[in-house]
Amino acid sequence: MPSSTLIVYEPLGSFRERQDYWEDYVKYYEKYWGGPTSPFGMWFGNEYSAFKKSIANHLGIEINEVDDCLFMKDGSGEYFIAPTNNTDNIFSSENVVPLEWFILVAEDERKNFYSHWGFNSIHYDSNLLSSIKRLDDARNILEGNINSDDSRGNALSSFLGELLLSINHLDNLLSGFDDKSFLILNYGDICSNIHLYTLKNENSVFDIKNILYLVSQNSIEEAGLNLKLFFQKWDDIRDKCMGVSDEGLIQ
């Protein structure tokens, strides 16, 4: 199934128990491939098995003992890593990008690129503290308007309550990471199910920001209409990811 990912890169030094291992890993990887890893790359042929054998020899361990990670560097050369052998730093979602993930990033943090899968892809880079502040701002808007006279009893009110729960859950997940961490929201291969002509105009980050703004202004009817359009867009994307057409499942 097509999936999106949310990746948290923590400072290498925050992995104290395995700091020496990860430092050896990233430096060898960078020398072997000529640069850091990428969450948007892919292995071809026997590239991965050859690398695993080579780095195992370098580290003096068995191949099955090699743990991998994604990593990046900041402007000062400090390494930030996201181990791939567990799900602590990497979250994924099949067929859609969870709505609350869009709150974590800003429009000017977007990057587009042509991926190995053969389509344009979208990802956003941010830092963890900025992302958590955006969650706090959204929470304040929701808590201040969820029980307003205009929204009470409205279908939008139920959604706002569910979104508040999702924001609190996401905030709890992110609160355990080092404050210096970086965060990447990647649409991944979901982009292959968004028409090429509309992909460049896909801006769900703005859509959610605008809906929250309308809620903060107590423009409940307009917020509800925008939310309906947002869900329709992502329902269509999800159906395409699942291979569903108007006639039913595509065989």
pLDDT tens-digit map of 176-231: 999 999 999 999 889 888 877 788 889 999 999 999 999 999 888 899 899 999 99
> Could you give the CA distance from residue 53 to residue 61 in angstroms, rounded to a whole number?
10
What's this model's pTM, rounded to 2 decimal places?
Answer: 0.88
Q: 230 near 159, Cβ under 8 Å? A: no
> Could you give the CA distance from residue 46 to residue 41 in angstroms, rounded to a whole number?
15
Is the predicted pLDDT of residue 10 greater than 60, yes or no? yes
Q: What angle do CA 188, 198, 156 make, to 5 degrees?
A: 80
pLDDT tens-digit map of 23-46: 999 999 999 887 777 666 666 668
Is the predicted pLDDT of residue 112 greater than 90, yes or no? no
Confidence of residue 250 (pLDDT cuts 50, 70, 90): very low
> Could you give the CA distance from residue 182 to residue 73 in angstroms, rounded to a whole number?
10
C-alpha distances in Å from residue 216, one per residue of 135, 193, 223: 14, 33, 10
Is the predicted pLDDT of residue 13 greater than 80, yes or no? yes
pLDDT tens-digit map of 120-151: 678 899 999 999 999 999 999 998 887 665 55
